[in-house]
Amino acid sequence: MMKRMIIMLIAVGAVLGGIFGFEAFRAHMIAKFFASMGHQPQTVATTVARATEWHPHLDAVGSLTAVQGGDLSFEVSGIVGAIHFKSGADVAAGTPLVRLRDADDVARLHALQATARLAAITYGRDVRQLRVHAVSQATVDADAATLKSDRAAVAQQQAVVAKKTLVAPYAGHLGIRAVALGQYVNPGTPVVTLDSLDPIYADFDLPQQMISRLKIGLPVTVGVDAYPGVSFSGDISAISPQVDSASRNIHVRAVLRNPRLRLRPGMFARVSIATGAPVSHVTLPQTAITYNPYGSTVFLVEKTVTEDGNTQLTAHQTFVTTGDTRGDQVAILKGVKAGQTVVVAGQMKLRNGVTVEINNKVLPADDATPHVPDE
């Protein structure tokens, strides 16, 4: 029994010795690896921090809306008797577009007009006879009331007849006709869309934190997918007095000039609002920044002199304060000065004070206004 226990203790000791020996060997190799890294230069890509003028602006997305626009329809029912427009045409305010059959209404109007004319003649004759006391004042008063009633009936019938003709309430661009000759239409049935396109609105939302930077008249530029690379200019015309309680956004409207009618209601719009004079910032590619919970850092490359008098490049880590981003670039508010060399690729293998070699054959993007190439 004692012999078996001694054998087990020897076996356990051998196993533990092997484990501790392996861990010691692994620690030695790791230390040797990092020691070799300290002497072997690491290849990195770098750029020189430069000062760039940025125009302060806010970015948003929204939709285009017609200044005036909607589906035109009749207030009354009837059968389409005439169509006076072509789909897609431009019309002036007051232009007749569609007329419903109105022969019965026009005939009734003529009858009422004749009755009103007779009432006017009767009233005029009685007024003259009253001067010679041929009729009583009561008769003249009754004739005056009859004349007013007949004229009111004429005005009412004129309104009925007018409702049988659909006219353009404002100047604009017509859409596609939605009715045909002989078709029966009910009140509210869409006949055609009419939109006023020049100028045109751009509606968008911004976070409530941006209210202090907004004011009426600020210039805006708008881009749409239909015209890549083309900007449309305008300015802010209205800011909502209320902040949406659900999204905490504020609604903003800009007016854009659209003389060639290229912008259409419903288009998706990317909006940029200029909010001040140009500001100079030190900028770096976003790939140069390492973001950490304890702060953002970059590696600066500096020339150092070794003990034997040789010159070498070493990387030194430093904390930075970042600002706004624009495209591939980020503004550096603190930590890097213009002219300093900064690592933009290869930071993952660097430590503070490690020797580096620079290879800038391949550099990350550094464009303030990048564009996605068309496939």
What pLDDT is recorded for position 373? 46
> How would residue 174 be classed by pLDDT, with cut points 50, 70 and 90?
very high
Token representation of residue 155: 């005005």
pLDDT over threshold 70, residue 16: no
- Is residue 220 within 8 Å of 273, Cβ to Cβ? yes
pLDDT (mean) for 317-344? 88
- Could you tell me the CA-to-CA distances from 6 to 1, 16, 226 in Å, in that order? 9, 15, 86
The position carrying tokens 């059968």 is: 79
End-to-end CA, the chain: 82
pLDDT over threshold 70, residue 23: no
290-292 and 295-305 beta bridge pairing: antiparallel
Helices (runs of H) and strands (runs of E) counted in the chain: 3, 21
The overall average pLDDT reported for the chain is 85
The neighbour count for residue 199, using CB atoms within 10 Å, is: 17
What pLDDT is recorded for position 50? 87
Fold match, 42-54+279-358 / 102-163? no
Q: Summarize pLDDT for 91-142 with one digit per residue, the tens.
A: 999 999 999 998 898 999 999 999 999 989 988 888 888 888 888 888 888 8
Domain coordinates of the chain in residue numbers?
42-54+279-358, 102-163, 202-274
pLDDT (mean) for 186-207? 92
pLDDT (mean) for 13-18? 58
Longest dimension (CA), the chain: 159
The CATH code belonging to domain 42-54+279-358 is: 2.40.420.20
Q: Summarize pLDDT for 24-56 with one digit per residue, the tens.
A: 555 555 545 545 554 678 888 888 888 888 777
pLDDT over threshold 50, residue 366: yes
For residue 43, give the 3-state DSSP assignment: strand
What pLDDT is recorded for position 375? 39
Q: Is the pTM of this model over 0.75?
A: no
What pLDDT is recorded for position 26? 58
Token representation of residue 151: 């004229």
Q: Summarize pLDDT for 218-261 with one digit per residue, the tens.
A: 999 999 998 988 889 999 999 999 999 999 999 999 999 998 88
d(CA 208, CA 206): 6
Token representation of residue 119: 């009432």
pLDDT (mean) for 254-273? 91
Highest mean pLDDT among 24-38, 149-163, 307-321, 348-362: 149-163
Q: Summarize pLDDT for 53-75 with one digit per residue, the tens.
A: 877 788 899 999 999 988 999 99
What pLDDT is recorded for position 374? 42
Architecture of domain 202-274: Beta Barrel (2.40)
E-assigned strand segments in 31-134: 42-48, 50-54, 57-72, 78-83, 90-91, 96-100
pLDDT over threshold 90, residue 152: yes
What pLDDT is recorded for position 1? 58
The CATH code belonging to domain 102-163 is: 1.10.287
